[in-house]
Amino acid sequence: MSDLPNTRTKLHMINISRAWQEILKRVPQPTNSSCPLTKSLGRFTAADIQSDIDSPPFDKSLVDGFAILIDDLQSSQSLAINETVHAGQTPTVPVKTGTATQIMTGAPIPIGTEAVVMVEDCIVNLESNTVTINNTTVTLGSHIMQQGKSLSCGSVVVTAGTKIRPAEIGLLAEVGCAEVPVAAQPNVAIICTGDELVDVDQHPQAGQIRNSNEALLISLVTASGGNAIPLGIGRDNAIDLSDKIQHGLQHDVLLLSGGVSMGEKDLVPALLHQADVMEVFHKVQLKPGKPLWFGQAENTQSQTLVFGLPGNPVSSLVCYMLFVAPLIRVFQQGAKGRDSQPESYAELTVPYTLRGDRPTYHPGRLEWISGKWSVTPLPWSGSADQQAFALANCLVFFQPPQHEYDAGEQISVLPFPW
Ligand code: AMP
Ligand code: MG
């Protein structure tokens, strides 16, 4: 390893918000793609989407009932039934004085109609084919939804850079957007480094552990809208790892886990340097997650953004939540995604003492108790303890110089988005 540059002596640490700013300014503009509507959940729109119709496309009934004229309500006479109009049919005769048309929810309103009366307020005489109405509170336009009331043809229904949720999918279906213009998903390559790692389906032998980071990172990337490309375990030797790094640099983002600390086999920073990946920062004032490395490839076409995540799974997860998940969002959402950090506050249920001098994210349980959000930090034995995180639903943020926190204090929390 003597020909590798020595990157282990750097002690300069930046803070969380500087680290995020450094990442943010290197995120490229979203690129356009498209996908079928039913596959678009979680993607981001790449253009404003307009309606190609009025909605509703015609004046329609909001209830099952009878289409009538207002003056006929006063007469309390029975009205002759013109016809019955079901949803999907069109009326053939207008409503005139002394007549009513039976109409179902969603059916077009006959010409002349002034209001629709609910069937519950009507008595139908089948023999004489007439209807008597028992409601005098109906007014002009009752139970009629006018054409274009919810949206009009040509109006923008979803703006560019919007995250597509089920609600957007329903709306886009209504306006005929079968193929949605979306931002391309970033391709995120994943390399987990370590001579000690064995595949998940293996039983670890002496000194070995299972490669939990690969499955964890694949699921995180998928959940945050990226396209995960696992490249397998990178062993702690320059030849194997360099080869994998070269493959990783063909993608938009490369995540490495492990090998970024001060150990003798922590080769990642030096090998990235050798592969012309410019270091932007190494080490962040953060717990867990201090060893985080970030840089950008200089000579590849994709100018890959590269993260050297700490090896411990929980440190990887915290760094991912703070830096990689927002990056994947901005990659697709552009400027719209830049300032929406999903931070909230909750009341601490127990006192807490912060040890050490780094801002700390502690696994916590956020619950709605007696009409307010409360949060309890969970017992946790550090960055290799995944069990505590499986019981958690948020990160609780403790920030120096404050070290003693009282029960009842409002505290910043970062809810898990999954
Ligand atoms: P490192 O930064 O490579 O020294 O790794 C720090 C710690 O994380 C060590 O205890 C590793 O064994 C552990 N670790 C590294 N990679 C993984 C992984 N893929 N899955 C689970 N634990 C890991
Ligand atoms: Mg290692």
pLDDT band at 331 (very low <50, low <70, confident <90, very high): very high
Gap between the Cα atoms of 333 and 340, Å rounded: 11
Ligand 1 atom with the smallest distance to the CA of 310 is 2
Question: Residue 367, SS3?
Answer: strand
pLDDT at 221 over 80: yes
What residue has token string 């509170």? 137
The predicted pLDDT at position 76 comes to: 75
pLDDT 10s digits, 43-99: 999 999 999 999 999 999 999 999 999 999 887 789 999 999 999 999 999 999 999
Predicted pLDDT at 257: 98
**pLDDT(114) > 90:** yes
pLDDT at 60: 97
Q: What is the pTM of this model?
A: 0.90
* CB of residue 337 inside a 6 A radius of ligand 1: no
- The rounded Å distance from CA 267 to ligand 2 centre is 9
- Provide the pLDDT for residue 302: 79
Average pLDDT over residues 213-242: 97
Q: Which atom of ligand 1 is nearest to the CA of 261?
A: 2
pLDDT of 10 over the 70 cut:
no
- pLDDT band at residue 361, thresholds of 50, 70 and 90? very high
Residue of 198, 209, 389 to mutate, ligand 1, most atoms within 8 A of C-beta: 209
Q: Which atom of ligand 1 has the smallest separation from the CA of 233?
A: 19
Q: What is the mean pLDDT of residues 345-366?
A: 97
Q: How far apart are CA 65 and CA 334, in angstroms?
A: 49
Query: How far is ligand 2, taken at its centre, from the CA of residue 311, in Å?
Result: 6
Q: Is the CB of 383 under 6 A from ligand 1?
A: no
| pLDDT value of position 9 | 45
pLDDT of 2 over the 50 cut: no
**Contact, 375 vs 393, CB < 8 A?**
no
Of 235, 257, 282, 309, best ligand 1 pocket probe by most atoms within 8 Å of the beta carbon: 257
> Is the CB of 197 inside a 6 Å radius of any atom of ligand 1?
yes
Q: How do residues 166-179 score in pLDDT, each as one tens digit?
A: 999 999 999 999 99
Ligand 1 and 315: CB distance under 6 A: no
Predicted confidence band of residue 335 (pLDDT cuts 50, 70, 90): confident
Q: Are 56 and 145 in contact (CB under 8 A)?
A: yes
Is residue 304 lining ligand 1, measured as CB closer than 6 Å?
Answer: no
Phi first, then psi, for residue 254 (nearest 5°) are: -125, 125
Going by the DSSP 8-state scheme, the letter that residue 270 receives in this structure is H
Q: Is 312 in the pocket of ligand 1 (CB under 6 A)?
A: yes
97 CB-near residues (< 8 Å, 6+ apart): 69, 71, 72
For the chain, give the percent of residues with pLDDT over 70.
96
Tokens of 373: 């959000």
